Amino acid sequence: MFSRILTKSCSQHSATLVRTFCASAKRDSMKVAVLGASGGIGQPLALLLKNNPLISHLSLFDIVHTPGVAADLSHICTPAQVSGHMGTDELEACLTGSHVVVIPAGVPRKPGMTRDDLFNTNASIVRDLVDACAKYCPQSMICIISNPVNSTVPIAAEVLKQRGVYDQKRVFGVTTLDVVRANTFIAQAKDLDVAHVNVPVIGGHSGETIVPLISQASPQVSFPRDERAKMTERIQNAGTEVVEAKAGAGSATLSMAYAGAKFTGSLLDALNGREDVVECTFVRSDETECKYFATPIRLGKNGVNQNLGMGHMTDFEVSLLEKAIPELNKNIAKGEEWIKANPAQ
């Protein structure tokens, strides 16, 4: 009896998910690869992606434990088939045919560390994984989560250029977590339904390069000057808030997994023809003097469809931007200089 009830429950749950995510039977299912799938971000990210019926094949890669993670996820009663690939010899099998590649691989922050402290380790990881993407799925959308995003996205772009397959519309730095945090903190402060709050966050993905545009929040909100400054600072330093709260046990993994799944889901919707999909993301940009810059982006079948720019900003937000640009330029240059000295082999 319990088995029949459970089977029925799983079937109903899967059907609900299909109705939720698949508005049309004409939508294409896709292969999504997660590189770093056994880690603190990778496992919950893969779990969330397993719930998206637009994904027909969830392909997981890491250097340890991936077959076990894949076996575990494969028991979940949702449509995506799961495969696990362990070790660099299996990157080809993992990546071939992938439409979207999400890269959370790398080491986490610990107390006292900045995202920049992660640079040397994560730079080489991103270089090698993106190089594999260039070889085995050169037309895929590549979503970089590995920190420091301000530097790893330029590294990814330069690797793709070296291999002759770079398309700036297809490379994204996932800064969605900054938006998720801004939405959450402002909804809490104003007692709003967070499901209906949206705060654009532009710039980069660390410290003062994060520029929340509270004046453009929907619905509109306002704060006294000192509260606005405190709210902005909290959004900018929210990652450190988690690192310190975990007291050496890691950095933001669950919230980052949620944000990564949210961005990936939006990208899949756009690839399947939905025309109203907008996410803030760190991309090649001409909006400022920075080569790469996060702004609201309309996504489409080819990736970046339209850069919606920064909109009207208050004097306070302009001052934040003025502080952000020099630091962001420095982060970008660091990534570009590193990859020139350490090219893909």
More confident residue, 8 or 241: 241
- Residue for token digits 């392909």? 59
H helices of 247-286, in order, are: 254-271
Q: What is the pLDDT of residue 115?
A: 66
Looking at the predicted structure, is the pLDDT value of residue 25 above 70? Answer: no
- Pairing label, strands 201-203, 210-212: antiparallel
Looking at the predicted structure, is the pLDDT value of residue 10 above 90? Answer: no
d(CA 282, CA 261): 16
- pTM here is 0.91
Active site residue 75: no
pLDDT above 90: percentage of residues in the chain: 85
pLDDT, mean of residues 86-99 = 98
Q: Could you tell me the two tokens for 338?
A: 């590193």
> Given 13, 57, 196, 205, which residue is catalytic?
205
d(CA 71, CA 82): 8
pLDDT of 220-262, one tens digit each? Answer: 999 999 999 999 999 999 999 999 999 988 899 999 999 999 9
Q: Hey, is 128 helix, strand or coil? A: helix
DSSP letters for 285-333? -SSSSSSEEEEEEEEETTEEEEE-------HHHHHHHHHHHHHHHHHHH
Q: What is the pLDDT of residue 5?
A: 35
pLDDT of 175-198, one tens digit each? Answer: 999 999 999 999 999 999 999 999
pLDDT interval class at 133 (50, 70, 90):
very high
Q: What is the pLDDT of residue 27?
A: 56
Q: What is the pLDDT of residue 207?
A: 94
d(CA 318, CA 75): 50
pLDDT of 42-66, one tens digit each? Answer: 999 999 999 999 999 999 999 999 9
> Chain-wide mean pLDDT for the chain?
92
pLDDT above 70: percentage of residues in the chain: 91
d(CA 55, CA 265): 9
**Of 10-24, 88-102, 266-280, 294-308, which range is least confident?**
10-24
**Cα Rg of the chain, angstroms:** 20
CB 134 within 8 Å of CB 339:
no
Contacts of 215 (CB under 8 A, 6+ apart): 312, 313, 314, 317
Neighbours of 28 (CB within 10 A): 11
d(CA 23, CA 276): 14
d(CA 297, CA 232): 22
**Domains, the chain:** 26-175 (3.40.50.720), 176-333 (3.90.110.10)
Looking at the predicted structure, is the pLDDT value of residue 160 above 60? Answer: yes
Q: What is the pLDDT of residue 24?
A: 35
pLDDT of 193-220, one tens digit each? Answer: 999 999 999 999 999 999 999 999 999 9
